[in-house]
Amino acid sequence: MKYFIANWKMNPVTEKEAIAIAQDIDEENVMIAPPFVFLKTLARRVKKASLAAQDVFWENPKGAYTGEISAGMIKSLGVSSVIIGHSERRRYGGDTDERVNRKTRAALSQNLSVIVCVGEPEVVRKKGMKSAERYVKAQLGKDLVGISKKNLNRVTIAYEPVWAIGTGMSAKPEEASSMMLRIKRYMKERYGVGIIKTIYGGSVTEKTIKGFMKEKTIEGFLVGGASLNPRSFKNLIQAEKRP
């Protein structure tokens, strides 16, 4: 069964809305990543789904870092995972590959599972798949430096082609699957990790998801805006069961 991460980004506005959405999509193969301010409340309300933070700071467990949240704080809420290096964090939050690496190491040190996001921009993709592969491998090489093989077993790689985020465009299922296969091979060759989870973070819709569901290398989906609409999100989840 494929699993789904609902990345709410900076949505919704109120706690009441957050509770309503979470309760509607509270299923066992779902992970909900709400804004930090809702994590504590949802940790008490969500019964089946797991929770993830959308980001983390690289120092633990506390310190003089105004506005930041540590992995220790996240863990104290009963949250099990964190998303690191999302394309929007790289674009708006100043996350370089070095920062992604430091954040990943901090999260793993607190026994959190990590979803590391990688993906090429449009200017790279236009040069072809080989160019995109080199770009993604370079990201992974920097993002995961110094992390032990044991800890890598708690890392999931989310492939999110930047040119497909919030644009309405999406990679073809076979293209996404091909990139994930290349990621798996790279992880095995460089780090000796034979089994690494790979999920797709490009835009998927109710019309396109069936094609992605058929690809074995795609083990799940990182879903943005559609996860805020319980009806649409449930349709994505149930697509695997429909003929």
For the cut 90, the answer to whether the pLDDT of residue 169 exceeds it is: no
Beta strands in 160-228 (DSSP E): 197-200, 220-223
* pLDDT tens for each residue of 38-87: 999 999 999 999 999 999 999 998 999 999 999 999 999 999 999 999 99
| CA–CA separation, 135 and 121 (whole Å) | 9
How many domains does the chain fold into?
Answer: 1
DSSP secondary-structure letter at 27?
-
- pLDDT of 84: 98
Chain mean pLDDT for the chain: 94
For the chain, percent of residues with pLDDT exceeding 90: 86
Residue 100 has pLDDT above 80, yes or no: yes
The overall longest dimension of the chain from CA atoms, in Å, is 54
Q: Which of 27, 28, 68, 86 is catalytic?
A: 86
* Whole-structure pTM value: 0.95
Query: For position 139, which CATH number holds?
Result: 3.20.20.70
Residue 14, token pair as written in the block: 């109120």
240 given a catalytic annotation: no
Q: Which domain holds residue 192?
A: 3-241
Active-site option among 98, 160, 206, 215: 160
Nearest to 208 by CA among 181, 180, 168, 241: 168
Active site residue 219: no
Structure tokens at 234: 């449930």
